[in-house]
Each structure stands twice: as structure tokens, then as C-alpha cells.
Amino acid sequence: MIDSFCNKIGSIGKLIGVTLLIVITFSSKFHAQVYLQVVDSLKQVLANTEDEISAAILESEICARLNYSNPTEARERCKKAVAVLERKAHPYLGDALFNLATCEQSLGNAEDYLKNIKKATGLKDNSTDVTANLYATWGTYYFGTDSMDHYYEKYFRYTWDNELFAHYPNSYAQMGLVYAIKGDLESADSLWEIGISHCTRGEFDANQSSMLYNLSVSGLQSAKYDRVIKNATHGLDLADKNKDITNQIGFLNILGKVSLFNRDTSQATSYWIEAAQIIDDENLNQPPTGDIIHELALYHLHGQRPEEAKKYADKLLKMGLASKDKADQARASMILALMAKDGGFKDQALSLVNSAMKDTAHIATPQVHMNLLVNAADVLDHFDQKSHALKLISEIESYLDKNYMLKIHKYALELKYKILRDLNKPHKALIALEKYKHVSDEFKDKTNSDRLHENKVRFDTERKELKLKNKEIELQLTKVENGRRQNLFLFGILGLIALFTIIFLIRSWRFSRSKSKMQSQFTHDLIKSQEMERRSLARELHDGVGQSLILLKNQLAADNEKARFVGQTLEEIRSVSRGLHPFVLEKLGLTAAIEYLVNESDERSDVFFDTEIDPVDDIIPKEKHVHIYRIIQEAITNLIKYAETPSAQIAASSDSPITFKVIDFGKGFDFINSIQSNQSLGMKTMMERAAIINAELTFSKNHPSGTIVELICRDDE
């Protein structure tokens, strides 16, 4: 299905589609490491569960996570769970069927995968989460057809209509893909950028990496290299953080290519060598490792280092044979053919060209295909097989008339001009030369826009200077009789310039203020949304899982060891629930919540806390309580983690203005550098919360050592 689809949509859709499939396929390694830790905990709970339905639900949840590391075991567990839930006609059956379908997909059982997806889709009482997953799954299944657009659009709308925050990043990723395939890269880029803004938690790292990769590939296509560098660098940082090897290699490859386009060969080589080292260390043999080895082989070939070039070409050929990747095999053969051409070995070079070109029909990526054709034409021309070379160039032109690959098109036309000139066909050679100049100029417009803009500014300046000189001559000739008119004209010009300058400054100031307000409002809405999501999740943990564990603990009262284990698990869940949302804040108020937070921090750390907290519940509006609580909570968390302080003071003064202080006696820190650092998300969130409640938050040094965090709440204006 993918191959036939790629033949229809052209180079941009193909490249983006293949890219997305690579990212989705290899991001599962990262998920496997995370989910294995959860599976062990769920298995322990399952061992103590006697209720048949509860056990079946737990089995299904284990399968959803175990599928990344052991899909065979996951499938068998899920089949048992489906049988129980189907017999009981339980509403969770849709979730279990979806998990079973995912296992079948991992094992390559397409028929069973489709059967279970259809069965799950036919159920009437599916949860909103399962329904959303089914829409996304059908979209992926119909990849490259009109049905894909239909299901991805339904997935996007359903996600937003039901406020399924966990699906927002993926829904934007898929809708961006829909527009990219249609050729609307501008809309696709906008959707991916919005999707990235919704990746606010670590669980969305895979979605974020995928969208950053797609933005980088899109930027390479449209020669927006500054944006490519920004997105690829961000993606590489994310891959490094998560130790996501495949994305590390992919982003290093993109950075290498953009460095090469910017004529920084040294930097490009540095990126590719780093990626090649990862490939060797991990013994990898899947995309995009072939791209890295190919680029290094070309680098050494153009640098007149044939031994190094052959080493990488042989490695690429070996990888292609092992993975049955026709593109890698063809690219390796072509590099060896170029080496044979440089050495003057005609028969060997032509044989390698034939070997490289025989499987080009099976190469899905058009850019690889076109590069092979250009190189083959170059070799054929070198050995006087010019008519054959022209046929290959015609094939390239036929394809590029409908698709956008400026760099390849430029090289093909340059070679065509050279061949026609050598064949003594001046008229056709002149036409090829004119087309080459046109494409070359367009390529320069894309890759050197800044330089061209600078030249344009210089040209405009010189032209204006010349006009001014001519005007001065005319003014000197007519100075006596037109003196008054000249002065009036100059004053008018100055007045207009002053007027336009004032208008420009006012508009710039208004725009800056409007932009600042929009950014501030977005941050405020984001924090509010996070609080709502935390509250909802905390309630689900407390009212759902917590109550089930209490019931289980009561049932296991006779078994002290099991009851103790369930009790510990219950306490951990309660602790997580309290961390997500402090229910004591709603029940007892801000003052009691702060005292409870301090007492809890005192118990779980080695820091001695001293408190002087006045009652402030009736003085401060209730809607500000949660922000004040979060600011104090972050300050206490930071001093426990980083301050290395033996003691701390927490104070709240009810005198006007109402003031909260968190004081430690530890090693202190550099406030300005911390705020400017990308790692200071906690401190920036504290500042944003203070702005929301119209309060002033300051950080100062405590003498002789330590830090004072002070929050001053002003009266509402």
C-alpha cells in the first residue's frame, strides 16, 4: 500500500510519509524501557486479585505495555482477558480488543489485527479514549487514500470535542501529515508547531520527536535552513535526554545535510562521524543508518580519499544486503562506480552502474532515485556513452517537471548542457544552458536569500545615492529662482518622514504589547489547564484506584504480608494524588494546606522546618489559593533538592501587603543565570503564577548564606 501511494503523491508526500513511519517504528524502543517498569507493578497487583473481571482488566492493561517488549506473551494474556470480558459483556471489552489488535499488528498478523479492530469498532459502549484510538488506527490503516484523510479528520475533531488532552499531540501530528501529503506544507508546519506546544509531559516525547523530524524534513524541502537547524537541534536534545538512538542518528543526519547546504563541510562531517560512531557502538542496521554511511562515503570520495570512501561504500553495501534494502545496495554500487570512473576503469564502472540501476524501481524515496540517475549519467558521459546519459537526464527532467528538487535539477541540466556541447548540438545546448541558469538562479534564491537581500539593499542604496547626486546638481542650477520652493519641499519631506516614523513606532509598540498580552494569556490558560488536568487525574487515582486498593486491603486482612504490601501501594498512590492536587487546599483552606505541606516535607526530608504562618484564608480571594500554594510548594521542593540546608523557615504574614517567605541557610544560587537558563522551567512557572495573581515574586540572598524566596500579594486593582 505504501509503495503505490508514494507513486501518486510525489516527492514531498513520500519523504514525509516514509519519515513518519521510521519515527513511529523506532520510537517503540523508548516506550519499552518505560513500560517494563509498570508491567512488574501491575503483575504484582494481579497476583493478589481474585475478582475475575478485575483480573481480566488488569491483564489487558499489562498487554498494552508488555506489547513493546514481548508481543507474543502480551497477545496470549490479552486473548484470555477478551474471552472473560466478552462473556460478561463488560464495557471494557472495546479497550481489550484494541490492545489485542495492537499485539497482532506487532506480530505482523494483518488479518487478525483487522478482525479485532472491526470488532472493537462495532461496539456501542466504547470509552471516548478507545473511540479516538480506533479513528487514529483506521487512518493509519488506510494510509495514502482518501479514507486516511476522513479518519484522521474525525480523530482530530473527536479529540477536541471530548477534550482528550492525551490525544492532542498525536491528532495534530496526523493532521499535519494529511496536509503535507496534499502538498500544503505551510499548513502542515503550522499544525506540527501547535502539536509540539501540546507536548507538555514526558509521555509525549515520541510525538514531539516525530513532529520535530517532520518539520526539519519540510524545511530541507523548502530551503528554510535556519528553521531546520532550530528544529533538528531541539529534536537532538530530546533524543539525547531520552537516549533514543534512532532519533539521535536521524537528527544528526539532518544537521549534517543542512551544514553541507550551508557549505560548512567540516561541521557536516562532524555530525555524520558522530552518528556513524553511534551506529558502530550499537551495531545498528536499519534506517536512517544507510544515509549516514552514504554521506560519509561521498565526503571521502569528493575529498580524494579513495580508501576511506571504499571502506564506507563496502559497509553500506553489506548493510543493504543484510537488511535487503535496495536503496542502500544501489547507492553503494554507484559510489564504487564513481571511484572506478575516477580511476579510469571503464568496464568495472559501467558494470557497477548497471548493478545500481537495475533495482531503482523498488526504491521508494524519489530523491535517492534521482541522485542515482544523475550519477549514472555522469559515469556514462565520462566513457562517451552520451546518448544513454541523455536518456537518463530526460527521465530526470520528466519527473522534476512535476516535483520540486532544485539541487538535483541544477546538476542534471549542467550535465545535459555539457553533453550537448560535446555532441556539437549548439541550439539544444543553448536551451539547456538557459534552463540551467534559470534553475541555478532559483536555487541561489532559496539557499542564499540573505546574501541576495544584502545585495539588493546595497543596490537600492547606491541607486538612491545616485538619484540624490543628480538631484543636487539640478538644485544647484535652479537654486536662485527656486530657493523658497526647495526649502518648502525639504520641510515637507522631513515632516512626512517624521510622521511616518511616529506612526511606525506607535504601530510597533501596539503590536509588541498585543503580542505580549497574547503570550501571557496563553501561559495563563496553559497553567489553568494543567491544574484542571492534575485535579481530574488526582481524583481518578483517589476515587478509583485508591478505593479499589482499600477494598483489596480489607479482603486481605487475614494475610498481614499482603495487606501490608497493598497498604504501601495505597499510600504511594495517595502521595501521588496529593502531589497532583492538594485536596486539603479545597477542604481546609490555604493556611492549613501550607502547614500540611510543611509538615509533610519535614517528615520526608532531613531539613528542619520552622513555621510562622498567620491565617490568610479570608483575606486572599479563593481563586488565588492554588497559585500561592504551588509557588510555596515549588520553593520548598527546590530547597530540599538543591539548597543543602540544615533548616528552613516558612512564614506567612497577614499584614498588608500579605507576604509569604521561604528561607533556607544553604549554598544559594545565581538567580539571573537560573532564570535565563533553559533548565529553569520551575522558576519560570513560579514567576508566571505570581503574574496571574498580580503578586510580586523575588529571590534574594540570605546572609551569611542561603536564599530568601518572597511572595508579596497586592490588593486587586
pLDDT digits (tens, 9 = 90+) for 11-70: 333 333 433 433 333 344 444 444 556 677 777 777 888 888 888 888 888 887 777 678
Which residue type occupies 60? S
Q: Is 285 helix (H, G, I), strand (E, B) or coil?
A: coil
Separation of first and last alpha carbons in the chain: 63
Q: Is 0.85 topped by the overall pTM?
A: no
Task: Give me the chain's average pLDDT, please.
Answer: 78
- How far is CA 138 from its chain centroid? 23
DSSP classification of residue 200: -
The Cα–Cα gap between 569 and 564 comes to 9
pLDDT score at 447: 56
* pLDDT greater than 80 at residue 167: yes
C-alpha cell at 128: 471516548
Beta-carbon count within 10 A of 28 CB: 15
In this predicted model, which residue has the larger pLDDT, 361 or 604? 604
The whole-number pLDDT of residue 664 equals 92
Helix-then-strand count for the chain, H and E: 31, 5
Q: Give one word for 260, left, alpha or beta, with left for phi > 0 and alpha for psi -120 to 50.
A: alpha
Q: How far is CA 252 from CA 247, 314, 665, in A?
A: 8, 22, 44
- Letter for the amino acid at 316? L
Chain centroid to CA 88: 42
Look at residue 36 in the predicted model and tell me its pLDDT: 57
Burial classification of residue 568, based on how many CB atoms lie within 10 Å of its CB (0-12 exposed, 13-18 middle, 19 or more buried):
exposed
User: Residue holding cell 563541510?
Assistant: 265
- pLDDT band at 270; cut points 50, 70, 90: confident
**What was the pLDDT predicted at 32?**
46
What does the pLDDT read at residue 358? Answer: 80
The pLDDT tens digits of the residues spanning 614-655 come to 998 888 888 888 889 889 988 998 899 888 899 999 999 988
